[in-house]
Structure 1
């Protein structure tokens, strides 16, 4: 996928409840050479919707009508990140939503494993990295946030 073998994934969801599900996935290669995103049409039975989350990410249920089916989303994501180490800034949430996506798509085993982005940063720079990442304004658009996380992680003062 890229000369730097790593990809940042960011996921927007219908909320933070255990009944929530992914609605948008974005990814960016750590060297920012490639990136992409897509919306996801909810699977049958995915009905939970938190209006507070909608206010944060700005997507409503009607926006999801233009999204990929769960099956298409699984296939597109697997193709996009094949062979890459995957990172995110919130593994408990993002892994939950990835697992939920693939389960709804009929996959019985975990297909993708996410590591926290701070595992790429040397220990002596980890606190400063996390402080900078937290200080950056997030758009809560999965593509923009994946690109932001990758860009911060690859800054020479943290990596290199």
Structure 2
């Protein structure tokens, strides 16, 4: 039997709190593949937290050079995720806010709904979550705080904790 994985979305941002905005969005598809796009900041998006930059390693200059427009990123997300209905995030409060900001500035509506990942998890999975995630990061050398890698790490952690809890 082939396991169907949930599609996960992760967003990296300019910082946290008022004035922050999305700078990278990544997805891990149900087949396990992942991809991410950098987002070119809107002119009015000026908040920049150097501590956040130290975590994700993405400079504002790089976003200006390599980032896609908010319209391109929102269109890509709708193309990728529109037929799925729901996608999941482990930081729903932050990611949903940044996603809404992205789509607002793109002048578009999302063709999918973002849900909290914890809605899919059993208590047994939650109990194993942090330990499993840490083990997977070490084993696979996954770089944290990049949107595509973080989305895939969440997906792998989901799959491993599901197997561990259903194998009992």
- Runs of at least 5 residues in structure 1 that lack an aligned partner in the other structure: none
Supply the distance in 2 between the matched residues of 1:133 and 1:113 (Cα, whole angstroms).
25
What is the CA deviation profile of residues 19-49 of structure 1, one whole-angstrom value per residue up to 9, with x for unaligned ones?
11000001002441x3211000011211111
What is the CA deviation profile of residues 38-74 of structure 1, one whole-angstrom value per residue up to 9, with x for unaligned ones?
0000112111111110111000011112111010010
Supply the distance in 2 between the matched residues of 1:121 and 1:140 (Cα, whole angstroms).
22
Supply the distance in 2 between the matched residues of 1:157 and 1:88 (Cα, whole angstroms).
21
The match for 2:37 is: 38
The match for 1:89 is: 90
What is the CA deviation profile of residues 2-29 of structure 1, one whole-angstrom value per residue up to 9, with x for unaligned ones?
x836310011000002211000001002
The match for 1:106 is: 107
**Cα 1:154/1:128, change in 2 over 3 Å:** same
Contact 2:82-2:111 within 8 A present in 1 as well:
no
**Cα 1:90/1:116, change in 2 over 3 Å:** same
Supply the distance in 2 between the matched residues of 1:50 and 1:88 (Cα, whole angstroms).
22
Answering whether residue 122 of structure 2 is matched by residue 122 of structure 1, we say: yes
**Cα 1:20/1:159, change in 2 over 3 Å:** farther
Supply the distance in 2 between the matched residues of 1:5 and 1:132 (Cα, whole angstroms).
17
Contact 1:31-1:150 within 8 A present in 2 as well:
no
The match for 1:63 is: 62
Greater helix proportion: 2
Contact 2:82-2:112 within 8 A present in 1 as well:
no
Supply the distance in 2 between the matched residues of 1:28 and 1:115 (Cα, whole angstroms).
15
With normalisation by structure 1, the TM-score equals 0.86
- Runs of at least 5 residues in structure 2 that lack an aligned partner in the other structure: 138-142
The match for 2:23 is: 23
Supply the distance in 1 between the matched residues of 2:158 and 2:62 (Cα, whole angstroms).
31
> Considering only aligned residues, what root-mean-square deviation do their CA atoms show, in Å?
2.2
The match for 1:13 is: 13
